[in-house]
Amino acid sequence: MSQGILDFECPICYDEFDHAYKRPMTMNCGHSVCEDCSNKGMGTMKTCPKCRTLITTRAINFSLLGAIEQFAQQKAELLELRARQSAQTREQNVTSGTLDELKNSLGNLKLESEAMQRQRAQETLAQINYLQNQVHQQVNQRQITDLNVQIIALQNRLSRENQSKDRRVEELEAKILEMQHKQQQPQTPRVDPVMEAKIAELERKLESSMQTSGDIQLTG
């Protein structure tokens, strides 16, 4: 996971910051936790959960709130554009070019998925190792329990992300197979009934004209 996304999450509960109960509270060391966790740990949280610096001040980070709002707006616009793009794609006829694009997208998705999974796995494992080291260094049983819960949450999150990527790959593969099956089926040519009627009428007129011409020649 990129550092930018991690900056929008509370390092204690791993929920995203918001403008209600999860406003970012920045401490004197520069790190931020959500207002909810800050209030709950006001009497017990003496050091920063990230760098272990002694906490002397806490204040709402309005700059980070603005960045979060901008990020949320851009994310909503991206989702809307993707929804429109998906709707347009469904309306288009399936062609071999589209099939090739899907195959390329599937290949790129697999490569991107593997690279992102490796990167996120490395970052997550680094956090897990850090927390595990903290577990060994802590004496207070309550702190040990909290750190173990965070380790399990990170492991579960990594597993969910891997499953989500696998589902996307499977959906693309299924769509490619469906399109290939449709292309292999014989296509029945579509006949315009209006055009067919006009052709029949012209043929009748032509035949009538030929008969009239023959009668005229015989009479002559």
H or E stretch at 115: helix 96-137
d(CA 32, CA 212): 98
pLDDT computed for residue 214 by the predictor? 47
Bridge-based pairing of strands 58-60 and 32-34 is unpaired
Q: What percent of the chain has pLDDT over 70?
A: 72
pLDDT at 9 over 50: yes
Contact status, residue 64 vs residue 32, Cβ threshold 8 Å? yes
How high is the mean pLDDT of the chain? Answer: 75
Token pair recorded at residue 199: 């052709």
Residue 103: count other Cβ atoms within 10 Å of its Cβ: 15
For the ranges 114-128, 147-161, 177-191, 200-214, the lowest mean pLDDT is seen at 200-214
**What's the whole-model pTM score?**
0.32
Q: What percent of the chain has pLDDT over 90?
A: 0
Q: How confident is the model at residue 187 (pLDDT cuts 50, 70, 90)?
A: low
Instruction: For residue range 32-86, list pLDDT tens digits in order.
Output: 888 888 888 766 778 888 888 888 888 888 888 888 888 778 888 888 888 777 7
pLDDT computed for residue 207 by the predictor? 64
Is 1.10.287 the CATH classification of the domain at 91-185? yes
Q: Are 1-67 and 91-185 equal in CATH topology?
A: no
Stronger pLDDT, 200 or 169, i.e. the higher one: 169
pLDDT computed for residue 216 by the predictor? 46
pLDDT at 24 over 80: yes
pLDDT computed for residue 217 by the predictor? 45
Q: How confident is the model at residue 147 (pLDDT cuts 50, 70, 90)?
A: confident
d(CA 67, CA 71): 6
d(CA 34, CA 64): 11
Across 118-135, average pLDDT: 76
Q: How confident is the model at residue 91 (pLDDT cuts 50, 70, 90)?
A: low
d(CA 151, CA 190): 62
Q: Which CATH architecture has domain 1-67?
A: 2-Layer Sandwich (3.30)
